[in-house]
Amino acid sequence: MGGARHGIVRRVNPPRAAARAGGRGSAPGDRDLLGWTALLTVYIVWGSTYLAIRVVVAALPPLTSAGLRFAVAGGVILLAVVATGRLSAARPRLRELGAAALVGCLLLVFGNGLVSIGEQQVPSAVAALTIASVPLWVVVFRRLSGHRVARATLAGVAIGFAGVAAMLVPTGLQGTIDPFSLAVLVVAAIAWAGGSYIATRMALPRDPLVSTAAQMLAASAVLLVAGQATGERVDVTVAEAHPASLVALAYLVVFGSLLAFTAYAWLLQHWPISRVATYAYVNPLVAVVLGALILGEPVTTPILVGGAAIIVAVVLVIHHESRQAAAPAGPSRG
């Protein structure tokens, strides 16, 4: 969840002419190279943010560090929006800013903030595998809202939740992982899915960068206040931090929230969403490998079994939903 696992949910509906203009002047091969470079960036960077969060919360308070991260990233995006004239060109309404603030709080306060809290006790790989269940929770929200969900999708959801249960059952964890912290991560996944779902049903600022800045800045304010309310002190947070934690925090700001976000936004405008969505099951694999190699995190049997089930489930859901979206529109079934 570096910036949205850590991508911030936005409404990106570029006109077809704009999409064509984006590819004008460059050969298809060049566009493919740029696309794969952007997707590889999202794969690796967003997969590595779980490791970075784990390093950050080892020395920095979770809520305050997350608040600082999004305050800096949101401020940079806002400055860019103002400097390029995008804010005046698409001035958002107060209601749209309020909607963006709500979505930002669900995604970044209850989503990312709880991930920071959970990773104080839970390995980064397990956190990534748990958050990988977000697409499954989105399906649940759709079903609860009255949308018809295909059986294949429901089967994928069932497999994924079985994988989450395999990691949640204390007897299966053999005492190696704190069940409460793991439950916090499940709540974070639910919150992220809820924010993602309502973002598609609310009127957000038309400019995606304006929306993202509003989400980040609103969430950062809530995170910093929550950090103060729970006894975290801003004045000693940075001064007493280990250099590695400060480097990891800077990495989250620059790479997780800015670089990967830009790559993701470009992909949404130029590549099929079915291909872009593969980040949802590649990120956890990157997190597992990095956690084991760099932090020496154990990869137990319950983690392997539960994680594999989640990844398979997400692959099934994304693949089936992508086929459904690409199918020609037929008679409505209500």
Query: pLDDT 10s digit of each residue in the chain, 334 long?
Result: 554 444 444 444 443 333 434 444 456 666 778 888 988 898 899 999 999 999 999 888 999 999 999 999 999 999 999 999 888 877 889 999 999 999 999 999 999 999 999 999 888 888 888 888 887 888 888 888 888 878 887 888 888 888 877 766 644 444 567 778 888 999 999 998 888 888 878 888 888 888 889 999 999 999 999 999 998 876 555 556 678 888 999 999 999 888 888 788 777 667 776 677 778 778 888 888 898 889 888 777 777 888 788 888 878 877 776 676 655 543 333 3
b/e code 7-43 from CB counts within 10 Å (16+ = b): bbbbeeeeeeeeeeeeeeeeeeeeeeebbeebbebbb
Report whether 215 contacts 103 (CB < 8 A).
Answer: yes
Q: Residue 8 has what pLDDT?
A: 47
CA distances to 90, 209, 211 from 81, in Å: 10, 7, 10
Q: Residue 269 has what pLDDT?
A: 64
Q: Residue 11 has what pLDDT?
A: 43
Q: Residue 324 has what pLDDT?
A: 65
Burial class (CB in 10 A: 0-12, 13-18, 19+), 174: exposed
- For the record, the structure tokens of 216 come out as 């980040």
Instruction: Report which of 261, 305, 288 is spatially closest to residue 73, judged by C-alpha positions.
Output: 261
Report whether 162 contacts 314 (CB < 8 A).
Answer: no
Total count of residues recorded for the chain: 334
Report whether 285 contacts 308 (CB < 8 A).
Answer: no
pTM: 0.77
Q: Residue 108 has what pLDDT?
A: 92
Q: Residue 79 has what pLDDT?
A: 94
Alpha-carbon dihedral 291, 292, 295, 299, rounded to 10 degrees: 90
Q: Residue 28 has what pLDDT?
A: 60
b/e code 81-109 from CB counts within 10 Å (16+ = b): beeeebbeebebeeebbbbbbbbbbbbbb
Report whether 51 contacts 119 (CB < 8 A).
Answer: no
Report whether 299 contacts 177 (CB < 8 A).
Answer: no
